[in-house]
A and B are shown apart, each in its own frame.
Chain A
Amino acid sequence: DGGITQSPKYLFRKEGQNVTLSCEQNLNHDAMYWYRQDPGQGLRLIYYSQIVNDFQKGDIAEGYSVSREKKESFPLTVTSAQKNPTAFYLCASSPRPSTDTQYFGPGTRLTVL
């Protein structure tokens, strides 16, 4: 089956720790995105990547880092510098880095203990 997978589904982190969220797609899409969603709010863009080995900051990149070494993978690291990391994180991809519709993964819920 083609699609986007995110792991883990639930993640718990102690304060001061870095954690990495996985996002994989087998849709052969060029562009990939990371969003953060807080309760009752819309999605805010953290980082996006249009091609391999290239990525740009979104609206709320502080405290996060990404890499795009392979077309199908776009992991997100939540660093200890992120002041309030508890949220629902969604990964998406689109066929081209233009205004195609985006396809979303199932999400990872991160909780800081």
Chain B
Amino acid sequence: KQEVTQIPAALSVPEGENLVLNCSFTDSAIYNLQWFRQDPGKGLTSLLLIQSSQREQTSGRLNASLDKSSGRSTLYIAASQPGDSATYLCAVGPLKAAGNKLTFGGGTRVLVKP
């Protein structure tokens, strides 16, 4: 059974510092990996989706890498801003399953201090 872990559970950094968020998964037979952002009491917003054949994806200040063989993904957020404060979740899509059954990590809660 796939297990997804995100460590640390919480992270606090001063404004301007780069953020590094980690995601690890136990089964490397994945179809893709996604990073989501969740603001308190809100739904999830998709940030980046990496297909299993890709090594990384970039969008603005965000860059996500994927190392399938070692079961790891990293989300980098450059030059953090207070508006980046949120919980970030990663989710893994299975290689063989009907219905796009994502497995989520527990999330990393980020606080960017002005």
Q: How far is the CA of A98 from the CA of B34 in the complex (A)?
A: 14
Residues 17-47 of chain A: 1 if any B CB is under 8 Å from the residue's CB, otherwise 0?
A: 0000000000000010100000011111100
* Residue pair A99, B32 in contact (C-beta under 8 Å): yes
- Whether, in the assembled complex, A16 has its beta carbon less than 8 Å from a beta carbon of chain B, the answer is no
> What B residues does A31 contact at CB under 8 A?
99-100
Residue of A nearest to B87 (CB): A40
* A8 on the B face (CB < 8 A): no
Q: Is A109 touching B41 in the complex (CB atoms < 8 A)? A: yes
Stretch of B12-20, B63-71, B78-86, B104-112 lying at the A interface: B104-112
- Size of chain B's interface in residues, with CB distance under 8 A? 26
What bracket does the count of chain A residues touching chain B fall in? 20 to 34
Q: Are B42 and A45 in contact (CB under 8 A)?
A: no
Give the nearest-CB partner of A6 in chain B: B43
Q: How far is the CA of A58 from the CA of B34 in the complex (A)?
A: 19
Q: Name the A residues within 8 Å of B6 (CB-CB).
A: 42
Contact B89–A99 (Cβ < 8 Å): no
Residues in B with CB closer than 8 Å to A94 are 100
Q: Which residues of A contact B42 (CB under 8 A)?
A: 106-107
Closest to B32 in A: A99
Kindly state the separation between the CA atoms of A100 and B105 in the bound complex, as whole angstroms. 18
Q: B89-109 interface mask toward A, CB cutoff 8 Å, 1 = contact, 0 = none?
A: 101010000111110111100
